[in-house]
Amino acid sequence: MFYTIVGTQWGDEGKGKIVDWLSSKADLVVRFQGGNNAGHTIKVNKNVYKLNLLPSGIIRNKKCIIGNGVVLDPWALIKEIENLRNQNIIIDENNLCIAENVCLILPIHKLIDEVNEESRGINSIGTTKKGIGPAYEDKVGRRSIRLCDLNDNQNLKLKIKKLYDFHMPRLEKFNKSIDYEKAYEDLIKISNIIKIFSAPVWKMINDAGKQKKFILFEGAQGSLLDIDFGTYPYVTSSNTSSGQIFSGTGFGIKENHSILGITKAYTTRVGSGPFFTELQNDIGDHLVEKGQEFGTVTKRKRRCGWFDSVLVRQSIVINGITDVVLTKLDVLDEIKEIKVCVGYRYNQEIYNYLPFDENIQKKLFPVYENLPGWQTKTFGLKNWSDLPINAQQYISFLESKIEKKISIISTGPDRSHTIDRNNLLSNS
């Protein structure tokens, strides 16, 4: 059985919790895009784990794979491994493998990310400044340093020099300097630590697939941050949608695949860009506080707003989502009247999808339907029948608008705070 987890909104939907929950039965957990711009928080009893690059299955000592679609900052990886080892998580070459052809993020990419943001001025994207975009640009520009390049020091030095030479003229215009030799020396120092994880992971994943093992593909970010289908240019630099699992890992088996769309019961976004249902008022502040909506990576306060069924329905179609997981229902517990966006008004027209044209997007106004809140505690509930009737009706209303069943409901950060409506976990 194969499962893919993707976020249907702008990220931070609670993917980490659901991957952790589902990975109890997994044989392999695989990351296929993004990098350490991702921040997944997993709570297990009193322990809280923060993951950026490592697949969330590592917490359960599952075999984890970082696929070629990821951009990998080797120093960030080492730090993350150290932090988790300090929390007694085992990480070694038996449970972590990294694609030999994964492209590396070097210090220059972080510098370029900063310079790019500075030069965008008021139109800055609000990136995580982890060098993700510049690293993907170099990948497509065929200049990248890949993990397998660490096998040949002489060539590695030349390649790094070429890469730095390519970017220096622009950086100098911004009075920035950075030394390729230092990057090379620093990389050599850690090269042996990283190389032990290097493997032809595409073979491992396909072999596991043929043997009908349980493979879990873990998406980062959300569909609205997808480089093609998101709110461009306010997006990340990878394809975050499920189609990317094939090119981001080399996995070629298409059948028996469930795609779970992780969806918050409201909407959040970090960084700039359109947000049609944003609440810049007391209710927005309440969602920030109650939902603890602060970025894991950059600690920025997340922008909060009502559920947008237009965007989620679109994400469901683009990703081929089979089941929706609704998270953070408990955060809405105290709200008296809840709004759901069911369309956009543009002049005299109504849109039931998000048009890509930025000029139209700027003039879209959400059309809302109002639903009564439940004003009862749902935190930690484990059974559908225990949910207050208004909460059940809210979920049914969302299902009718997004045209997909909501199979799992998360009512708290812990593993056990989960309503598995169709016994998806026990049947998988």
Structure token digits, residue 171: 């950086």
Q: Whose CA is closest to 109, among 145, 150, 154?
A: 145
Instruction: Look at residue 1 and give its three-state secondary structure.
Output: coil
Q: Whose CA is closest to 218, among 41, 407, 416, 30?
A: 30
Provide, rounded to whole angstroms, the least separation between the CB of residue 13 and ligand GDP: 5
The answer to whether residue 39 forms part of the interface with Mg ion (CB under 5 A) is: yes
Give the whole-angstrom CA distance, residue 71 versus residue 220. Answer: 12
Q: Residue 225 touches which of Mg ion, ligand GDP, ligand IMO, none (CB < 5 to 8 A by kind)? A: ligand IMO
Give the whole-angstrom CA distance, residue 85 versus residue 64. Answer: 15
User: Distance of CA 318 to CAs 208, 210, 222, 244, 288, Å?
Assistant: 27, 26, 12, 12, 29
Q: Which of 11, 250, 412, 413 binds ligand IMO (CB under 6 A)?
A: 11
The answer to whether residue 248 forms part of the interface with ligand IMO (CB under 6 A) is: no
Size of the site for Mg ion (CB under 5 A): 2
Strands (E), 285-414: 303-305, 307-308, 323-327, 337-346, 349-351, 365-372, 406-410
Q: Considering beta carbons, is residue 209 or 222 the nearer one to ligand IMO?
A: 222
Q: Considering beta carbons, is residue 105 or 265 the nearer one to ligand GDP?
A: 265
Give the interface segment with Mg ion, choosing from 39-47, 233-241, 263-271, 346-354 (CB under 5 A): 39-47
The answer to whether residue 12 forms part of the interface with Mg ion (CB under 5 A) is: yes
Give the interface segment with ligand IMO, choosing from 37-45, 76-84, 200-208, 372-380 (CB under 6 A): 37-45
Binding residues for ligand GDP (CB under 6 A): 7, 11-17, 39-41, 43, 296, 327-328, 330-331, 410-413, 417
- DSSP for 104-162 reads EP-HHHHHHHHHHHHHHGGG------SSHHHHHHHHHTT---BGGGGG-HHHHHHHHHH
Q: Residue 413 touches which of ligand IMO, ligand GDP, Mg ion, none (CB < 5 to 8 A by kind)? A: ligand GDP
Provide, rounded to whole angstroms, the least separation between the CB of residue 224 and ligand GDP: 13
Spell out, one character per residue from 207 to 236, where the chain touches ligand IMO: x when CB under 6 A holds, - when not.
-------------xxx--x----------x
Give the whole-angstrom CA distance, residue 295 versus residue 280. Answer: 18
Bridge partner list, 372: 337
- DSSP for 10-29 reads SS-SSHHHHHHHHGGG-SEE
Asked about 257 being catalytic, the answer comes back as: no
The answer to whether residue 138 forms part of the interface with Mg ion (CB under 5 A) is: no
Q: Considering beta carbons, is residue 16 or 366 the nearer one to ligand GDP?
A: 16
Burial environment of residue 190 by CB neighbours within 10 A (0 to 12, 13 to 18, 19 or more): middle
Question: Of 20, 40, 257, 417, which one is the catalytic site residue?
Answer: 40
- DSSP for 296-313 reads TTT-PBPEEE-EEHHHHH
Spell out, one character per residue from 110 to 139, where the chain touches ligand IMO: x when CB under 6 A holds, - when not.
---------------xxxx-x-xx------
Give the whole-angstrom CA distance, residue 351 versus residue 418. Answer: 34
Q: Whose CA is closest to 296, among 4, 7, 13?
A: 13
The answer to whether residue 67 forms part of the interface with ligand IMO (CB under 6 A) is: no
Provide, rounded to whole angstroms, the least separation between the CB of residue 422 and ligand IMO: 25
Asked about 12 being catalytic, the answer comes back as: yes
Interacting residues with ligand IMO (CB under 6 A): 7, 10-12, 37-40, 125-128, 130, 132-133, 220-222, 225, 236-237, 270-271
Catalytic residue positions, numbered: 12, 40
Interacting residues with Mg ion (CB under 5 A): 12, 39
